[in-house]
Amino acid sequence: MTLGQAVQLLAMLNSTACFRLSAYVVLPLLTGVRTEEARALVWSEVDLDAGTVAVYRSVRTKGDTKTRRSRRVLKLPRKVVAALRAHRRRQTTERLRAGDAWRDHGLVFCREDGTALGRWQVRRELGQITNAAGLGEQWTPRELRHSFVSILSASGVPLEDISQLVGHVSTNVTERVYRHEIRPALTKGAVAMDKIFGREPGSA
């Protein structure tokens, strides 16, 4: 996803509240978390006041992250914090509506009854979201993470910083996996994304 496409997608999400998984799309696009990390994320690992998220688990076997280096605490861009706040309000409403049917696993992203999301459900809604933004339905969740890398690289962020942000064991891994997106490159994750995409409307 190019910067222009990402801007188009975020503008659409900012203008409508009809998608349950809007925040799920914004999180990896602006922080680079893996889709399996987002699906396993729990609210106890999110601090919206501090604007941080602790990536300690995934939906992989035994709940481990892909590597030890993948366990990381990330500063969240303002757009992600705003999206997660709106998502939490929506989830509170769904929890009240579900009543006794709600199964509380503490998940940030879940079904309407609190149970875990399936990967095909995520992919289906992502297609609906990108299609509504005029980008087509062909996108996969993992491409949001790839887009994070390409946008930061194109904006001058050093490979070493990108590698650390996405939780790779070395820059060699980042370069090998994202070779077609890496460009030689001054700022880091949240600061860079805030600079690229600008402040939230009405923020100081």
pLDDT in tens, 72-124: 888 899 999 999 999 999 999 999 999 999 999 999 999 999 999 988 999 99
Spatial CB neighbours of 92, under 8 Å, sequence gap ≥ 6: none
Q: Is residue 192 domain-resident? A: yes
Q: Is residue 90 domain-resident? A: yes
Average confidence score pLDDT of the chain: 83
* Active site annotation includes 179: no
Q: What is the residue range of 134's domain? A: 3-197
pLDDT at 195: 82
pLDDT, average across residues 2-13: 93
Q: Is residue 29 domain-resident? A: yes
Nearest alpha-carbon partner for 9 in 83, 75, 76: 83
Contact between 24 and 122 (Cβ < 8 Å): yes
Q: Is residue 202 domain-resident? A: no
- Terminal-residue alpha carbon distance, the chain: 29
Q: Is residue 30 domain-resident? A: yes
pLDDT in tens, 14-47: 887 789 999 999 999 999 898 889 999 999 999 9
* Active site annotation includes 145: yes
Q: Is residue 101 domain-resident? A: yes
What b/e string do you get for 75-106 counting C-beta neighbours within 10 Å, with b at 16 or more? bbbbbbbbbbebbeeebeebbeeeeeebeeee
Nearest alpha-carbon partner for 197 in 45, 33, 6: 6
Spatial CB neighbours of 198, under 8 Å, sequence gap ≥ 6: none
Q: Is residue 203 domain-resident? A: no
Q: Is residue 204 domain-resident? A: no
The span from the CA of 145 to the CA of 94, in Å, is 28
pLDDT at 185: 38
The span from the CA of 158 to the CA of 97, in Å, is 46
Asked whether the predicted pLDDT for residue 194 surpasses 90, the reply is no
Greater confidence (13 vs 187) lies with 13
CATH code of residue 73: 1.10.443.10
pLDDT at 164: 78
pLDDT in tens, 119-175: 899 999 999 999 999 999 999 998 998 888 888 888 887 778 888 787 766 666 666
Active site residue: 20, 39, 87, 178, which one? Answer: 178
Active site residue: 20, 34, 57, 75, which one? Answer: 34
pLDDT at 66: 59
* Active site annotation includes 178: yes
Number of domains comprising the chain:
1
